[in-house]
Amino acid sequence: MPDGFSVETADVGDGHSVDKRIADSLNAMLEDCKRAGYHPFIRSSFRTRDEQQQILNERVALYREAGYSEEEALAAALQWVAPPGTSEHELGLAVDINDEVDDEGMYAWLASNAHQYGFILRYPLDKVDVTGISNEPWHYRYVGKRTAGEIFQTGETLEEYLARTRMK
């Protein structure tokens, strides 16, 4: 992201905010998820670049404490945490959603329904080689309903979708 990038955010509860353009879609998805019997909550939402740096530093420190070298710790941390300036959370378009009672069935519900609200599962288990990021069944990215529907139908990642549509 370029220096000086900014986003107008909207509060979505519990101290979380997202790009104001996606707040209504996110809230509708979470409400419908609750109606389906789950207990979703936002674990992480919009982050500043400084917050992203702090998260990366903390993850590197955990790996260092586990005996990794500095280089190994950074490489391991980058499997889970995007470098500052590249995180979708910094765009305000990504949220991490968990279930209050650890019902993993919620992840299946989200994977099957999120596209109806304009969201995609960003880092699926079978696409780690494409995204370069470990499986995160909780990480959802807003891309709009049309694009999310296409990605859902094709089973692509955002990277694959962009590569295919840019070739046209």
Catalytic member of 88, 104, 136, 156? 136
Sign (positive or negative) of CA dihedral 120, 124, 129, 134:
positive
* 136 noted as active-site residue: yes
The residue type of 156 is: E
Residue 56, both tokens: 């990366």
φ and ψ at residue 17, rounded to 5 degrees: -140, 160
Quick check: 81 and 55 in contact, CB under 8 A? yes
Could you list the active site residues? 136
